[in-house]
Amino acid sequence: MSKCSTKNGLMGKAVTGKPVTECQDLSEVFAAALPAFGGAYLRRVFEAMKAVIEQRIPLVVTCAGPITVSDQHRAWLIPLIRAANTAYITVTDAICYHDGHDCLRKSGERVIREVNLWGDDAELRENGVIRVTDTGFEEQVLFDQDAVATEILQLPQFQKRMTTTERNYLLGLEYAKREKALGVAPGLMSTCAELELPVFIGAPADGSLSVKLWMLNRLGKTKYGFDYDLHEDVFESCAYHHWGLFGSEQKAMAILILGGGVPKNYSLQPEPALSQIFFLDNIRGYDYDAQIVSSPVTDGSLSSCAPAEAVSWGKVNPETYTTQTVSMQGDYSSYMPFLVRALVGKDLLHNPPEPLRLYAKREELKTTLLNKIANDEGTMEKIMETLSLPAVLKV
């Protein structure tokens, strides 16, 4: 048995579980009382994230799903991004949109209520109740949100082309004013603005927040100059990844993927862009990759694919993926409150690290990357060659 346990690494350490009644805290439960099967997957996610937080490795967090409707952003996401060395987050526009529902009108409690997951949706519709899984709110909330968003988006600072990070930073500042005036606890956008934490939206067209003002401007009824610069958006994400690899103290990057979808895909793109589009040398993917996704890997979607598949694209470091990546199939909302509480102990609660504030450094980091590309003759030569179609591809 001893020989078999060591020969060719076929067997690892003994599978033992410490009684939960003897564990001192939730962190020890994750570390010692999840010995195998599904629990072991969760333990590996914990171990990966624990290493990322302890080593202060810049972390990217991607999240799909209506976490701001369900107040999960306040429950565990905000505590996580404060405790970790968070570089940026990538979310859906719906997350940004619903984040504003708490700062619309003066109210003693949240306008978002519990509803029956298996109730009569036709009856909800007749009574003007909007359902999101097992949460709901009056339809008037949507009209109120549109009114507030319309007012905000007409402000002078929004009348230009900008990245999704700039829109979300400016939106967060406005949400913060309303939250303070209404006595509401800070939401996701206002917290990220306070931390100068970039918030990307991978699919900004998947929402109708500004289409009304665009339409009125098109008809000549009002002046409206807001627009997205999506090329710069992608380049900004590349600049942050380049900084993580070469400019940060740790010279490494980590990613936590929750729910898959466009946010996952968007945040995995910087490495291919830097190495395959800009032809920069010594570019690698994420050194740590932990994900909790609900899609089965057999459906072929990017939401479900494990970090190992991302290695083949260059998105994850091939030298670390066997030991520093994990993919767990499950509903992240069921696990993250416990996982974050286990990760964020008393020391981090009372002494959070100084935020990276990469949003405030975005112009500097983009310029650094531009200069790196421009001053590399080999890189520029390769890029210029791509402007002409190779003869073998002509038809």
Is the separation of the CB atoms in 256 and 290 below 8 Å?
Answer: yes
Rounded CA gap, 144 and 229, in Å?
A: 28
Which two structure tokens, joined as six digits, stand for 332?
């992240």
Render pLDDT for 27-75 as a digit per residue (tens, 0 to 9). 999 999 999 999 999 999 999 999 999 999 999 999 998 899 999 999 9
For residue 369, what is the domain's CATH number?
A: 3.40.910.10
Rounded CA gap, 170 and 82, in Å?
A: 20
Number of domains in the chain: 1
Render pLDDT for 338-382 as a digit per residue (tens, 0 to 9). 999 999 986 776 678 899 999 999 999 999 999 999 999 999 999
Tokens 């500004």 belong to residue = 210
Task: Kindly state whether residue 13 falls inside one of the protein's structural domains.
Answer: no
Task: Kindly state whether residue 213 falls inside one of the protein's structural domains.
Answer: yes
Nearest to 359 by CA among 165, 85, 82: 165
Tokens 């003066």 belong to residue = 106
Rounded CA gap, 272 and 241, in Å?
A: 11
Render pLDDT for 180-230 as a digit per residue (tens, 0 to 9). 999 999 999 999 999 999 999 999 988 778 899 999 999 999 999 999 999
Task: Kindly state whether residue 50 falls inside one of the protein's structural domains.
Answer: yes
Task: Kindly state whether residue 12 falls inside one of the protein's structural domains.
Answer: no
Q: Count the residues in the chain.
A: 395
Query: 134: domain range?
Result: 18-384
Is the separation of the CB atoms in 306 and 316 below 8 Å?
Answer: no
Rounded CA gap, 317 and 276, in Å?
A: 15
Calculate ∠ Cα 110-168-372, nearest 5°.
150
Which two structure tokens, joined as six digits, stand for 326?
């994990």
Task: Kindly state whether residue 3 falls inside one of the protein's structural domains.
Answer: no
290, β-bridge pairs = 256, 326
Nearest to 72 by CA among 339, 357, 348, 326: 339
Task: Kindly state whether residue 51 falls inside one of the protein's structural domains.
Answer: yes
* Per-residue confidence band for 7, with pLDDT thresholds at 50, 70 and 90: low
Task: Kindly state whether residue 395 falls inside one of the protein's structural domains.
Answer: no
Phi, psi values for residue 387, rounded to 5°: -75, -15
Rounded CA gap, 49 and 60, in Å?
A: 11
Residue 211: count of CB within 10 angstroms of its CB: 10
227: Cα separation from own chain's centroid? 22
Is the separation of the CB atoms in 157 and 170 below 8 Å?
Answer: yes
Render pLDDT for 119-157 as a digit per residue (tens, 0 to 9). 999 999 999 999 999 999 999 999 999 999 999 999 999
For helices 188-195 and 164-182, give the axis angle rounded to 10 degrees: 110
88, β-bridge pairs = 60
Rounded CA gap, 87 and 85, in Å?
A: 6
Rounded CA gap, 386 and 381, in Å?
A: 9
Task: Kindly state whether residue 390 falls inside one of the protein's structural domains.
Answer: no
Q: What is the mean pLDDT of the chain?
A: 94
Which two structure tokens, joined as six digits, stand for 11?
């067997």
